[in-house]
Structure 1
């Protein structure tokens, strides 16, 4: 299973945000894509943060209550972001996900450029596919 790598299972077209984007626009993007959050990138594609549904929820309540724009992505995003590399093992990512709270991890190259995201469902699908494949081969030959 160590041969399973992030690059083979990542979402290469995740929802992304810019630091100056209004929270209302970010919320609309999340609800339309049904993603749990997404990377925040600068104009050159470098990862600068991460914005999740839970980061937005409180501010959206406030926005609705006061009926005014209260924030932009850069004010709510997390700047200290756990990332994965495309060459990381799916097994290692699964072990990290069992201990860390994020459900979605940006995948970056060694220069910090965003390549996509990998979420718990992607990792589960990779492990499930591998186990099913191994089981199918074993039962066919055995």
Structure 2
């Protein structure tokens, strides 16, 4: 089986920490911690990705001192609205080639209606390629 046949849908996490723009940042932080996630997609009522909230975004908000102020920040106040998402049918090898120094470590995964169906991380991509190469090597040994 060629490396190109590995698809994002086969290796993505289907149950990411999903956030809403109006959610208080404290609740979002709790969800990310509970999910042991470095970030999560922010979706609207149609399940379309409208942003991404990273640990770095949360840390920045906490260090600015507004985390425990009386007027709490929301996810929309902290998230990045410039989100790179990938389609669930994208080849793993193509996604691996997109990873770079200034690229996200986690990508929201969307279907053909642009609705969130999961997330995929660098470590999941690495695992997919590793398992494929390990199997290919074992079959040729």
Shared fold (TM-score, shorter chain, > 0.5): yes
SS at match of 2:17: coil
1:48-59 correspondence runs (5 A): 48-59=50-61
- What's the CA shift string for 1:11-54, capped at 9, x where partnerless? 11100100000001111111111101010011221111111100
2:80 aligned residue: 78
SS at match of 1:106: strand
Aligned length: 138
1:115 aligned residue: 117
TM-score with structure 1 length normalisation? 0.91
Compute the displacement of 1:60 (Å). Answer: 1.6
Q: Given the alignment, which residue of 132, 135, 139 partners 1:133?
A: 135
1:13-32 correspondence runs (5 A): 13-32=15-34
Q: Given the alignment, which residue of 32, 35, 38 partners 1:33?
A: 35
TM-score with structure 2 length normalisation? 0.91
1:69-108 correspondence runs (5 A): 69-98=71-100, 100-108=102-110
CA RMSD of aligned residues (A): 1.4
Distance between the aligned counterparts of 2:30 and 2:71, measured in 1? 14
Give ranges in structure 2 of 5+ residues lacking alignment.
Answer: none
Give ranges in structure 1 of 5+ residues lacking alignment.
Answer: none
Structure 1 residue runs of 4+, over 3 Å off? Answer: 66-70
